[in-house]
Amino acid sequence: MTTAGISTGRGSKFKLTKLDMKYSPYLYIAPFFILFGAFGLFPLIYTGYVSTRKWTLVGGDKGFVGLDNYTELFGDEKFWNAMFVTFGLFLVGTIPQLLLALLLASWLNKKMKFRTALRMGILLPNITSVAAVGIVFGFIFADRFGLANWGLDLIGIDPVSWRQHRWSSWLAISTMVNWRWIGYNALIYLAAMQAIPKDLYESASIDGASPTRQFWRITVPLIQPTILFTVIISTIGGMQLFTEPLMFNYGQLNGGSLGEFQTISMYIYQQTFELGTRYGYGAAMSWTLFILIMLFAGINFAMVRRSVKGSTT
Amino acid sequence: MSVTSRRLRTYAAAALVAGLALSSTACSKSDDSDSGEGGTVTVTLQYFGTPGLKEAAEKFNSTHTDIKIDAQNMGELKDFDPKLTQWIATGQGAGDIVMLEEGNLQKFLLEPKGFANLFDLGGKDLKDTFLPYKWEGGQTADKKKLVGLGTDIGGLAMCYRKDLFQKAGFPTERDKVSALWSDWAQWAAKGEEFKAKNTGAAWIDSATSVMQPYIMQKSDTWFYSKDNKFIGDSNPIVKQAWDFGLGLSDKGLTAKLVRWNPDWDAAFKKASFATLPCPAWMTGVISGRAGAEAKGQWDVATIPGGSGNWGGSYLAIPEQSKKKKQAFEALKWITGKEGGLEAYKAAGAMPSNVAALDDPAFKDSKNEYMNNAPTGQIFGASAKALKPIHLGPQHQNLWEKVFEPQMQAAESGKSTSAAAWAKAVEDGKKLAAG
């Protein structure tokens, strides 16, 4: 097309080519942004609008109420309970998850037999349907006739009522989350590790640095951007934790009879679609969650960056 | 790169794609299918669970030429209800006839504008063909609008485990068992006797199981007064039933199970409890969970107090339907005698139509699994004796999401009865205020 353009009417075709060069990239990425606008940005803004109104599904839009929904939120102890659960589960779930993934990646980075098969194997839990994982773990952590309690019984420990306490339900749920995500994160770390030049390790070895020291002083600092990426992604995922605790409780949104493991997403869903179908209130919570995720992800980003930088000096 | 690892990579990619495809759920909705041929109008019927409506619709289709019913299975109630609520609110998507569960019907009775008034479509004449409480249950509080006509009900009985009764030295024959308890106090006293015999089983599955039959027998209100004010805190019957239920667990008579959880399922297999308040549909739950090896071990006696209902559904016509007249004809047949009996035959759903209840096909029916108990007679008698009870808009949520979990917390010892009650009342008030 361009060669044909040069041979005939030179000026206008040249202009077209220039336009093509300048604007085509925008056109190519447009579908994503149009879809994002329709299914991401618009709902986001509209949710903000709904959050300022008293709006129930059955009763319809009952008008503008200003920040009433947000004020109610701050006095709602179930909301704070759900917040506590969400952050708690994030801490007991995500931190061990990323550390284990890091260790796993460094082992998989070594020379060994069946390396590719093993590297792919750790991703298998991640491609299993989360609902299937939830159902299976629901059976493992069944109170009376579950595998976990059977195992505890074998070593002489009393059976645990997994859904009756905070610690036990959190343990079970974070096990489920870790099962799914350790392999995924490990694979991302592994990819980053393979980009580290081998001679760094060789010279470190010659200087007498132990493998552990090499790991903390060479590997971790050099894959810092990747660690930051996984921290952000797991923060977002952790804040939105929904399916695992839901399946753990056999599809009930209440997260235990006293809400011991009701996450913020579960509470939003319950308020919006199950109890009274309060759209306005649910929207206010969704927005609060959105802001909190941004804040929290920002804080994590800053903290991890500082600590990883610190380890290089 | 070696050949094997490249092949493995291909497999991994394939597995990844398959995983992604599996995890992404597709949802599709069937569009209005109007088959114009020969003046036949097709009406869609959306139902949940296994109420036997599909079979009833098939029977209808084989005997009718002008109207056909397209029965669509919408999954479980908890999946269907949010969707339906949305469709009703937005005015599109719902079928010509939809199935509403008794508890979920309540919120629509409060805001009934999304549904057609069946009184106007010819529903007025049907009054005497339904059990009184079921007929009243389908109307708004001012009795001006009939939203739904009754399909199935859950007449109540007391199911009991014969082998456990024998172990405890109790009579096992159903008439003698029924004679052991004429009211709940006697039944609880028997429970203590049973416990003293150390059979290794509990008397009942949970403290919350008795709430529904207990309250429904003794009161015409529960969480709401008849003008839909929340009275869960002041209605004496609620606290009375609460104390009765938790009293059972204090005495160690309950197995402290949570209904529908796998542990509850497994408890049937292990014969962990001896009695269970049993709506008609529960006999299917029992046979499915206790399995073939327990066939004939469960039997059915009358419920303390003699009457009761637990669950049940209605059929309604959304206002958005463009074929209301035909939909009503179909609805009338399905909730009528023939439709009710057909659903009973197919799924054991007990009809609320009086003529169907009096028909030998229901009345003389026996349940083979439950030791050939004359279930038609037992359940029919309990349903007919039941007086209407007013439930109110958020009834189902108030019970299942607020009071029941708190009661379970108290039963498991995580909370005290007093603290749980205070919390339930507080949350209940909030929920009812919306």
User: Which domains does chain B show, CATH number per domain?
Assistant: 37-153+311-363 (3.40.190.10), 155-309+387-433 (3.40.190.10)
Contact A165, A260 (CB under 8 A): yes
Q: Which residues pair with A56 in a beta bridge?
A: A60, A278
Q: Is B96 helix (H, G, I), strand (E, B) or coil?
A: coil
Give the separation between CA B54 and CA B45, rounded to whole angstroms. 9
Q: B405 CB near a chain A CB, below 8 Å?
A: yes
Number of CB atoms found within 10 A of residue A312's CB: 12
Q: Where in chain A is the domain with CATH 1.10.3720.10?
A: 68-312
Question: Distance of alpha carbon B89 from its chain centroid, rounded?
Answer: 24
How far is B259 from chain A, CA to nearest CA, in Å?
A: 11
Angle ∠(B204,B205,B209) on CA atoms, nearest 5: 85
Angle ∠(B238,B243,B248) on CA atoms, nearest 5: 130
| Greatest mean pLDDT range, A20-29, A108-117, B5-14, B193-202 | B193-202
pLDDT in tens, B383-427: 888 777 888 888 888 998 899 999 999 999 989 999 999 999 999
Q: Which of B391, B315, B313, B316 is nearest to B350 (CA)?
A: B313
- Closest partner residue to A129 (CB to CB) among B22, B110, B408 is B22
Here the tokens at position B56 are 């009833």
Residue B402 has a pLDDT of: 92
Residue B34 has a pLDDT of: 46
Alpha-helical segments (H) within A37-76: 42-50, 68-75
Region A272-290: mean pLDDT is 87
Q: B166 CB near a chain A CB, below 8 Å?
A: no
pLDDT band of residue A310 (cuts 50, 70, 90) is low
pLDDT band of residue A4 (cuts 50, 70, 90) is very low
Q: Which of A27, A23, A25, A12 is nearest to A4 (CA)?
A: A12
Give the residue on B whose Cα is nearest the Cα of A275: B397
Q: B364 CB near a chain A CB, below 8 Å?
A: no
Contact A58 B107 (CB under 8 A): yes
pLDDT in tens, B266-281: 899 999 999 999 888 7
Q: Where are the beta strands (DSSP E) in B281-367?
A: 298-301, 309-316, 350-351
Residue A11 has a pLDDT of: 67
- Give the torsion sign (CA, A244, A248, A252, A258): negative
pLDDT in tens, B14-63: 544 444 444 443 333 344 444 445 578 999 999 998 888 999 999 999 99
- Closest partner residue to A120 (CB to CB) among B8, B20, B22 is B8
Average pLDDT value over all residues in chain A: 87
Give the residue on B whose Cα is nearest the Cα of A259: B405
Residue B364 has a pLDDT of: 92
Q: From the CA atom positions of chain B, what is the Rg in Å?
A: 24
Q: B394 contacts in A (CB within 8 Å)?
A: 275-276
Contact A164 B414 (CB under 8 A): yes
Element (H or E) spanning A146, and its range?
none
Number of CB atoms found within 10 A of residue B28's CB: 5
> CB under 8 Å to A13, separation ≥6 — which residues?
A2, A4, A5, A6
| Residue owning tokens 């129930």 | A56
SS3 content of chain A, % helix, strand, coil (to 5): 75, 5, 20
Q: B8 CB near a chain A CB, below 8 Å?
A: yes
Element (H or E) spanning A175, and its range?
helix A166-193
Residue B38 has a pLDDT of: 58
Percent with pLDDT over 90 in chain A:
46
Q: Which of B259, B286, B281, B258 is nearest to B271 (CA)?
A: B286
Q: Which of B16, B11, B13, B4 is nearest to A114 (CA)?
A: B4
Give the residue on B whose Cα is nearest the Cα of A114: B5
Give the separation between CA B105 and CA B395, rounded to whole angstroms. 10
How far is A117 from chain B, CA to nearest CA, in Å?
A: 7
Contact B9 A116 (CB under 8 A): yes
Give the separation between CA B3 and CA A116, rounded to whole angstroms. 12
Give the residue on B whose Cα is nearest the Cα of A276: B434
Give the separation between CA B36 and CA B66, rounded to whole angstroms. 11
Cα dihedral A169, A175, A181, A183 in deg (nearest 10): 180
Residues (pLDDT < 70) of chain B are: 1-38, 434
Q: A120 CB near a chain B CB, below 8 Å?
A: yes
Alpha-helical segments (H) within A37-141: 42-50, 68-75, 77-108, 115-121, 124-127, 130-140
What is the topology classification, in CATH, of domain A68-312?
Answer: MetI-like fold (1.10.3720)
pLDDT in tens, A131-177: 888 889 988 998 877 899 999 999 998 888 898 899 999 999 999 99
Give the residue on A whose Cα is nearest the Cα of B401: A254
Q: Where are the beta strands (DSSP E) in B162-242?
A: 202-204
Q: B89 CB near a chain A CB, below 8 Å?
A: yes
Q: Is B254 helix (H, G, I), strand (E, B) or coil?
A: strand
Q: A126 contacts in B (CB within 8 Å)?
A: 19
